Structure 1
Amino acid sequence: MLSINIKTIKLAGFILLTIISLAQMGCSGGPGNKKKELIDFKPYNGINYSEVKRRQKNGLSFNEYGYQLEPQWKLKFESDDSVSIYSPTKKAFINFPLTRGYDSIFNAARSWLKVQKMTKDSLILEIIKQKGDSLDIKGTKVYMTFYADNYVKNVLHTDTSILRHPSRQDTLFIRSLAAKANADYKKQFSARQPAQITSRSPQVTVKQRITKPGIENNFDPSDDYLDPTYDIVINKAYKDFYYSFTMYIDDKGGMHYGKPLIDLDISGPEFAQTYNRMASGIMDSYFKFYLGVKPGSTLGIVHSSMVSVHVEGKMAPAK
């Protein structure tokens, strides 16, 4: 059970205000204006739908930054005010309130969606953006396509995991991005399989931060590959220190200093210069001696990408 907090109450208030706004839009008078009815889910109650693709208007599931619109959802409409959505972490369906608006718009699991097409075999939803206290009903031009599980099994005679594979168009797009990134590592993009950093020394420990998918992030742990982050501890260092910065990892596994992850402007140019020199020096010495690096890849294509590191040095205690 989810606990009720102030954020939840504010969200409920926002939903109510938005639905009233949408209702006013749907009921606006004037010659030739026809009242739009609430969307009816009853004919589709109890059908298990699985998302098989998520695409932009151009047909691609990747953007130029390497972000993948990955099909993940499984859902079942229980009634006109309730929908069950599958949780990969709990390995079970979780029941969510469903708020219906006009013009085929509804809200569930902290997401605003618009029904583009709905049959007992398939479902196409467009993601709607929230802007402040209103909705951009023009949509994001990102479309989620679902097939009924029964349709996949008994008509298409295939499996949802196969239908979710990226398209040939996606592969060609990633190849073009990788060619540019490997010619100039500063043109890197996020790797779907992030660069891996491991320790080659008992005096150095490396731990990658992992996001657990949950309700608060819509079961989307994509930050783990968009911004892979590592905590590195170096024991028996020459002194105690702590630095946070980004690194470019090229397609050969080479490490290149990026930029600090803290605001150095408030400390003055001299401090910034010293910080960058010391941080890059740690990378060129400790990292290159004690760390193993495997470059990132997307759709099996190796390419330059970026990681964030937080490195702590611990000086050996005096004897």
Structure 2
Amino acid sequence: MLSINIKTVKLAGFILLTAISIVQTGCGSGTGAKKKQLIDFKPYNGINYSEVSRRQKNGLSFNEYGYQLEPQWKMKFVSDDSVSIFSPTKNAFINFPLTRGYDSIFNAARSWLKVQKITKDSLILEIIKQKGDSLDIKGTKVYMRFFADNYVKDVLHTDTSILRHPSRKDTLFIKALSAKANADYKKQFSARQVASLTSKSPQLHIHRRVTKATIENNFDPSDDYLDPTYDIVINKAYKDFYYSFTVYVDDKGGMHYGKPLIDLGISGPEFEQAYIHQSTAIMDSYLKFYLDVKPGSTLGIVHSSMISVHVEGKAAAAQ
């Protein structure tokens, strides 16, 4: 996710210029120090760039927790103070203010980026993070690589969707993670295709929470697979209840109790033990009997993962 909260573009620009000037002051002064100029986007205005990869310094697009740096952006520089970025939800390009800073850093769509390389055929950006009132200009070592659409079509003779496929290195990494997770489900990691639940009884209803991709979250609903969450309602239960807890789902679809999702610290050890005992019993009875569970997978490789559930029991029949 690239989203960084800033009050206004003007404030962000001020913060950026202040941060860079401080760094430049500390790095040297006098006639030997070279003044870095604002980056000029004019030679590249009007070119449609599509992101084809987003990788860490080690070349991987996945980390050990299963988080995938997924290439998503399409962008076009309109001028030195405006950039157009594609919105998947609106199926259209939206213009955003562009604030330029020194050392090839700029802000657009609530994200700080540094130009590592730019030509009319390709573009490499590094993600920059804001820390308090300043920027970490050392960068995150996460790189977004773009190709111009015309270059992909006329020179590479391929399609952007093909270029976005995970690499062999990614596949080998996920295979190694999966082997560990399947040997011990507590070493699970987030599944790109999440573990899914299907009701086998009209008595039990399931709803999976889904995040809507918006400008505010940079069209990035990654939390949906990092923490897949299900609301479950059980009608004609033995009594009214409500429990929230995590569940390990192993590679065979088996369910194993994780931990409560509410703070039980102030309630005392007896209440905590009772909560865990009762919610475990709910999982071992209702959920295991009334659910079909399909394990999660990443790159087609099935592995152990974790889900969150909020289970409501209703003693009276639903009207």
* Distance across 2 between alignment mates of 1:277 and 1:17: 52
Aligned position for 2:224: 224
The one of 13, 31, 35 equivalent to 1:15 is: 13
Alignment of structure 1 residues 1-319 onto 2, 5 Å: 9=7, 12-23=10-21, 25-26=23-24, 29-316=29-316
* Distance across 2 between alignment mates of 1:267 and 1:74: 50
Shift of 1:317: 5.6
> Secondary structure at the residue paired with 1:217?
coil
> Secondary structure at the residue paired with 1:102?
coil
* Distance across 2 between alignment mates of 1:36 and 1:144: 23
Unaligned runs of 5+ in 1: 1-6
* Distance across 1 between alignment mates of 2:88 and 2:317: 45
Task: Describe the superposition over 1:192-245 as per-residue Cα deviations: whole angstroms up to 9, x where unpaired.
Answer: 000001111101100100011111111101000000000000000011000000
Which residue identity lines up with residue 213 of structure 2 in the other structure? Answer: P
Shift of 1:13: 2.2
CA contact (8 A) 1:191 1:297 kept: yes
Task: Describe the superposition over 1:251-301 as per-residue Cα deviations: whole angstroms up to 9, x where unpaired.
Answer: 000000000001101100000000000000000000011111000000000
CA contact (8 A) 2:13 2:101 kept: no
* Distance across 2 between alignment mates of 1:259 and 1:59: 34
* Distance across 2 between alignment mates of 1:9 and 1:55: 29
Task: Describe the superposition over 1:90-144 as per-residue Cα deviations: whole angstroms up to 9, x where unpaired.
Answer: 1100110000000000000111000000000000000001111110000000000
> Secondary structure at the residue paired with 1:103?
coil
Size of the aligned set, in residue pairs, is 312
* Distance across 2 between alignment mates of 1:182 and 1:277: 26
* Distance across 2 between alignment mates of 1:46 and 1:317: 61
Task: Describe the superposition over 1:22-64 as per-residue Cα deviations: whole angstroms up to 9, x where unpaired.
Answer: 2454577324101110000000000000000001000000000
* Distance across 1 between alignment mates of 2:58 and 2:220: 23
TM value normalised by structure 2: 0.95
TM value normalised by structure 1: 0.95
Unaligned runs of 5+ in 2: none
Shift of 1:10: 5.4
Alignment CA distance shift 1:101-1:8 (3 Å): closer
* Distance across 1 between alignment mates of 2:246 and 2:126: 35
CA contact (8 A) 1:26 1:103 kept: no
* Distance across 1 between alignment mates of 2:15 and 2:143: 25
> Secondary structure at the residue paired with 1:106?
strand
CA contact (8 A) 1:246 1:309 kept: yes
> Secondary structure at the residue paired with 1:214?
coil
Q: Hey, which bits of structure 1, 4+ residues long, moved more than 6 A?
A: none
Which residue identity lines up with residue 22 of structure 1 in the other structure? Answer: I
Which residue identity lines up with residue 273 of structure 2 in the other structure? Answer: Q
Which residue identity lines up with residue 266 of structure 1 in the other structure? Answer: I
- CA RMSD, aligned part only? 1.5
Which residue identity lines up with residue 15 of structure 1 in the other structure? Answer: G
* Distance across 2 between alignment mates of 1:128 and 1:224: 24
Alignment CA distance shift 1:258-1:11 (3 Å): farther
* Distance across 1 between alignment mates of 2:125 and 2:183: 38
